[in-house]
Chain A
């Protein structure tokens, strides 16, 4: 992963974290705000409902009072005040009166508490309601909740009592409205609000006793626990019910206990306000937040990418510069912008490369001087050998002319032979140096490396087992099916021949010469190993330096030539050696050498200098 990518990932993570924190914060704050808003809204609705309920209470009181004030009721009271009054005449009156006054429950009750006529249970005439005759000022009692016995069973009623007094006898009018779905339907409630009523008519929770304006509430048993709590400890409660996994189905409820005259719990009113709008609003806000977050994320992504690119550009350039340096371009220069740490780093880098370049130039200069010195030394050494016989021969020739003139002819003949031989020797020395300086460009053609190796081994077969020297055993490990490569067969032959000669020189006591060919990833490898004396690390480091040799009579140009040939073929050569064990030369050649401009071929001396600086591998 690149530094830019890492930086981008860090930016993005930071951005995501920030957005997440902000989103959570916004969600929490929004939720709290909504909850507070819901609470206020619900309380307002409940207050409105309570007003509506109080209005109904007053309405019931008025209607019952209206019944009591009606002429027929007064006439009934007058008739019943008389001795031996016949109450049976009025047994069916409650039904008609209740209908005309829109009352669900209506009882005309005599002064002794016996029912004269009952709408909700007509057959109950004659039975007594004792509590109504207890001393109480019914005129100011208003409405109250009561469990009413009806023909169909107990019901919950919002009741009121009015009296018509004639003489010392009261006619009680007990009337009211049934609390049930019709009552709930008559309530004017704001949109999104509904009222549920649990009729506490049975000892245990009965789902059928929980009604709304449409009838029995489905899934009413889910409210059983709340009802049970109200039954045990009547008080106002607030709770929320999610009817389905969809948050929009949630409903906030306010539970209000409905108490009777004896403070007994007769019912539980559940005022529910739908959370649909809030949920929808919350969802919209959530979607908006998600949209903004996505946009922010996208923007952040772009910004992070741009920022990472901008921040890492100097670093990347530094890295490119470092890579150039690693590839040998010590003159790499990084553009410096600003004065920050990276700019200072770039300045330091530039300074470093400048110093490196200068040092390399100095080193090259020193190497050149050293090479020239080595060349001079080698030339001096090479030339000194033939010069000394030349000088001696010339001096012998002079002395012979001066002292032994008789033998001069013979001495002259011998001396001129020696002189010619040494001059020939000098010409050979000069010729080898001249050959190295004139290394030809390879002429590429299809070459089977195995064939080249076999040819060389065959060439040296006689020398491996020559009389008078310890035998050398060649071992060939040539891979079958080795692909042909584009190479100059002559140059390759000469290079491998050099390596074989070196190996033979390294094994004066005989040994094993192993040649191995393999191929891998489009490259062909050749290993030439000997079991000779091996090289020291210092020798290994300078092995490919021109004019460097570990042999007494070497020119120091053999391996430099090999390295030059390998390099011209786009390959590389390296050496592994251990003192006393042996040395292995490895050559890796591409099947097809890269196109190189003719000018790219550097002089062997310079190339060798650079390679020797890089170590044993070239």
Chain B
């Protein structure tokens, strides 16, 4: 689904000028792509900002050229707090409509939503589970295609993680539909495979049905009193909610699972058998997306991380995806869309495709309605 939910902006002729007030939750300490991000959230935000500053990318996705060669250049940078991007009049694609973009970093989701409501912000990221409430509160919401996979990645080498029956039992016990309906408030899709339906076209072939009886049967085959410690990013409320729900589902199937929050950006602690991970799609193309997933998951989860060959056929992509999913080392849970809140002045906003940056070069500021 791609579009804008809420009050539609009337088609008007674009005009130059104005400052777009952006609020994000991440804290970006340096705009330099060469400086490593402290956590995935910072990395994603840094990617978005860099996409506004650089003209082009290399084949591997890294940015090419010099900073400021993109539609905007960096006018002001207060590390971790605030950034101002000014329009680059020499941009090869033409000057952006906006004069500048003011980015407030480290804003909590609730504050971002409030600022949108009181018109203190023009653009903000909204957690998917808050989309419904934001809409009910009159905020313009833009939702992308589901392009971020929330999954369980088992930690290779952990005894219980090496037991395929335990992995499958946990996968079968998860009520994905309930997670989508209740936790995500129906913003997202239950995930049985690694690629979304809109990208691969084969997602429907992967089951998302909850099977507590099957899970119980599998778990009972495991001797001893096994227990799975499921880690999640303690700063990620959605991951926490999902982890807690998985604990309930697992308990219903007789599986002993403990959810354990870990500091933001930290690797899974030594006693975690599995962890909740977010896997954003690097590109809409299934082969590229799957290759990126494998690269992200491979080192720690014990899956075959060999990249797909260029020009892999849909069947090859499916087979590879099926092979990975059948191993249950990665258990897909839900697909999440990117949800943005838009202020009343924002015109010509289109949700970016998977792997793309914010298309602020095409956005212009109109009169508030």
Contacts and interface: CB of A to CB of B under 8 A. Distances in A.
Interface of A: 88-89, 91, 121-127, 151
A126 B244 contact: no
B248 A88 contact: no
Nearest to B244: A123
Given A88-B181, A127-B252, A122 B186 contact: no
Interface string B66-91: 00000000000000000000000000
Contacts of A151: 244, 247
Nearest to A121: B248
B175 interface: yes
Interface string B232-261: 000000000100110110001000000000
B319 to A, nearest CB: 35
A88 B252 contact: no
B178 interface: yes
B253 to A, nearest CB: 12
Interface of B: 132, 175, 178, 181-183, 185-186, 241, 244-245, 247-248, 252
5 contacts: A88-B181, A91-B183, A121-B248, A123-B241, A123-B248
A111 B182 CA distance: 18
A46 to B, nearest CB: 39
Contacts, number: 28
A469 to B, nearest CB: 131
Given A126-B175, A127-B252, A88 B182 contact: yes
B244 A91 contact: no
Nearest to B129: A92
Contacts of B181: 88
Nearest to B183: A91
Nearest to A149: B251
A122 B238 CA distance: 12
B141 to A, nearest CB: 16
Contacts of A89: 132, 185
Given A88-B185, A91-B183, A127-B248, A122 B241 contact: yes
A93 to B, nearest CB: 12
A125 B182 contact: yes
Contacts of A122: 241, 244
A126 B245 CA distance: 11
B248 A91 contact: no
Given A89-B132, A123-B247, 19 more contacts: A88-B181, A88-B182, A88-B185, A88-B186, A91-B182, A91-B183, A91-B185, A121-B248, A122-B241, A122-B244, A123-B244, A123-B248, A125-B178, A126-B175, A126-B178, A126-B182, A127-B252, A151-B244, A151-B247
Contacts of B186: 88
Contacts of A88: 181-182, 185-186
A560 B234 CA distance: 130
Contacts of A121: 244, 248
Contacts of B185: 88-89, 91
Contacts of B247: 123, 151
A122 B244 CA distance: 8
Nearest to B178: A126
B267 to A, nearest CB: 25
A122 B178 CA distance: 13
A91 B181 CA distance: 10
B333 to A, nearest CB: 13
A124 B182 contact: no
Contacts of B178: 125-126
A126 B247 CA distance: 14
The 10 A-B residue pairs with the shortest CB-CB distance in the complex, in nearest-first order: A123-B244, A123-B245, A91-B182, A88-B181, A88-B182, A123-B248, A125-B182, A124-B248, A126-B178, A88-B185
A123 B247 CA distance: 8
B229 to A, nearest CB: 15
A88 B247 CA distance: 19
A110 to B, nearest CB: 13
A495 B181 CA distance: 145
A73 to B, nearest CB: 18
A542 B321 CA distance: 150
Contacts of A125: 178, 182
Contacts of A124: 248
Nearest to B249: A123
A122 B252 CA distance: 15
Contacts of B252: 127
A123 B183 CA distance: 8
Nearest to A126: B178
A121 B247 CA distance: 11
